[in-house]
Amino acid sequence: MSTMTYDDHGYFEAALGHCDTMDGKLLEVDGLTVSFDGFKALDNLSVSIAPEELRVIIGPNGAGKTTFLDILCGKTEADVGSVKFKGIDLSKLTQYQIVRSGVARKFQTPSTYEDLSVLENFEISIPTGRDVFGSLFFKRNSAVKQRIGDIAEQVFLQDNLRTKAGQLSHGQKQWLEIGMLLIQEPTLLLLDEPVAGMSPRERERTAELLQRIAPGKSIVVIEHDMEFVKNIASTVTVMHHGTVLCTGSLSDVQRDPRVIEVYLGA
């Protein structure tokens, strides 16, 4: 076993198949520290997420929330600490292997193909189609059509399948991108400020969307908007200076004097 590495294909496949959930935890992050030019963006951050949990992360600008997601998806490497997902050490995997293992991440700005229709955007997100041209010829069999139809409905785009992504509203683009991630059937979905720039109505519908898609997966959502957080009624973790300040229900964390101080001081 000691001579095996995660680059060994067989080991990687075996580890994924094993799906060890570590005492009921899907994700276990322990003591993460990341420095940029001596500044600690993350400082001994420890968080764990249970299967099917919907966790909200809040915290002032610069708290390290985005950096945390960057580590989870392999975009940034930690200096110290460990990240275990289904018992697998994610730091040993490439970004592509992390996606394959079931982690899907949405960045702050939507990244959809503006000149393609909603349907085509969904089609190119099907994991077997790796490049735009290859997957445009992806056979539109009935199972694929059904799956895309179900997801389009979940993200409120069932009537927009023929619309070019570039013509969607900002909120609809965000929903499209969430749908594109859902096609990969992730076990852990990471969303960075999905309601930023949305209208109040779109925010409400996004809260509804998250509730709809939650079964069968864990979701970590970074968000500032308290009305939105209230609507999804989940456990909230407050980050500050690269570490966890507290975790609890929204009303608990809002009452916490340390949280009040951080937000008043900000």
The yes or no reply on residue 71 touching ligand ADP (CB under 6 A) is: no
Q: Which is nearer to Mg ion, 65 or 84 (CB)?
A: 65
The yes or no reply on residue 74 touching ligand ADP (CB under 6 A) is: no
**From the list ligand ADP, Mg ion, none, which binds 121 (C-beta under 5 to 8 Å, kind-based)?**
none
**From the list Mg ion, ligand ADP, none, which binds 61 (C-beta under 5 to 8 Å, kind-based)?**
ligand ADP
Task: Report in angstroms how near the CB of residue 180 gets to Mg ion at its nearest.
Answer: 21
Task: Report in angstroms how near the CB of residue 239 gets to ligand ADP at its nearest.
Answer: 7
The yes or no reply on residue 180 touching ligand ADP (CB under 6 A) is: no
The yes or no reply on residue 63 touching ligand ADP (CB under 6 A) is: yes
User: Judged by CB under 6 A, which of 31, 51, 62, 197 binds ligand ADP?
Assistant: 62
In DSSP notation, the chain reads: -TT--TTSHHHHHHHHHH---TTT-SEEEEEEEEEETTEEEEEEEEEEE-TT-EEEEE--TTSSHHHHHHHHTTSS--SEEEEEETTEEGGGS-HHHHHHHTEEEE-SS----TTSBHHHHHHHTSTT--SHHHHHT----HHHHHHHHHHHHHTT-TT-TTSBGGGS-HHHHHHHHHHHHHTT--SEEEEESTTTT--HHHHHHHHHHHHHH-TTSEEEEE---HHHHHHHT-EEEEEETTEEEEEE-HHHHHH-HHHHHHHHH-
Q: Which is nearer to Mg ion, 120 or 223 (CB)?
A: 223
By CB under 5 A, name the binding residues for Mg ion. Answer: 65-66
CA distance 46 to 243: 7
User: Judged by CB under 6 A, which of 29, 58, 66, 243 binds ligand ADP?
Assistant: 66
Residue with nearest beta carbon to Mg ion: 66
Task: Report in angstroms how near the CB of residue 79 gets to Mg ion at its nearest.
Answer: 20
From 4-12, 21-29, 55-63, 135-143, span contacting ligand ADP (CB under 6 A) = 55-63
The yes or no reply on residue 179 touching ligand ADP (CB under 6 A) is: no
Number of shown-chain residues binding ligand ADP (CB under 6 A)? 10
The yes or no reply on residue 194 touching ligand ADP (CB under 6 A) is: no
Cα distances from 34 to residues 57, 79, 82, 241, 247, in angstroms, run 18, 5, 12, 12, 21
Residue numbers at the binding site for ligand ADP (CB under 6 A): 36, 41, 59, 61-67
